[in-house]
Amino acid sequence: MIRINLFDLEKATRTIHIKATPKRKAHTRVIKVPDRVENKNYGFIKDLKEKRESNIDYVKRCGWNIEDSTLFYSGFNDLVEAHLEDGKIHSLSITKKEGNSLSVMLLEVNPDMRRKGYGIKAMKDIANKAYSSGLNSVALNSMDENSDKFYDALGMKKEGSIIFTMYTGDKTWMKNLMNAK
């Protein structure tokens, strides 16, 4: 025969109810999503911008010089990633995973911030993204001689040239670049 003490059962039920209340409150705090990501220096502009802000308004607010840009002056789609310092966009890029490689489709330094080493910071971000994603290489097509000199100085491997010059960097290169000071 099983005896059930209804008084104890009621106490237990009350206890569970009291314990559950703070848990529910804590859970509510955890799932609350902030309107924008704070203290992030590299990411998709769609994730960095304010909720109701357009992509183009965001890049303008963060100091991107649309007027003088060669590649990023319109059509800021959700694939565009921003590289920031102190809330200002120093570079914009689009990368794409292709097999075991991260291809840099577009990359440009803010026309207002050139020759200050921001290209290096952008490439460090990209190398870090590829390395932390477990990819084996970074690949890109350099557009002009000025860019060729940049990628030569960064130690990337020149793979060949038809219209553009193709460069690659393997895992060792990624690690070396990430640690370079």
Residues engaged in binding another protein (CB under 8 A): 70-71, 73, 93-94, 104-109, 114-120, 122-123, 140-144, 146-147, 149-151, 153-158, 169, 172-173, 176-177, 180-181
Instruction: CB nearer to another protein: give 136 or 141.
Output: 141
Q: How far is the CB of 160 from another protein (least distance, A)?
A: 13
Instruction: CB nearer to another protein: give 42 or 118.
Output: 118
Instruction: CB nearer to another protein: give 53 or 143.
Output: 143
Q: How far is the CB of 18 from another protein (least distance, A)?
A: 60
Instruction: CB nearer to another protein: give 62 or 120.
Output: 120
Q: How far is the CB of 49 from another protein (least distance, A)?
A: 22
Q: How far is the CB of 26 from another protein (least distance, A)?
A: 46
Q: How far is CA 18 from CA 12, 27, 103, in A?
A: 10, 15, 54
Q: How far is the CB of 85 from another protein (least distance, A)?
A: 15
Handedness of CA 29, 30, 36, 40 (dihedral sign): positive
Q: How far is CA 143 from CA 37, 39, 69, in A?
A: 33, 32, 14
Instruction: CB nearer to another protein: give 52 or 181.
Output: 181
Please state, in angstroms and rounded to a whole number, the distance separating the CA atoms of residues 125 and 41. 9
Q: How far is CA 150 from CA 78, 102, 117, 167, 178, in A?
A: 27, 19, 10, 11, 16
Closest by alpha carbon to 102, among 47, 177, 180, 4? Answer: 177
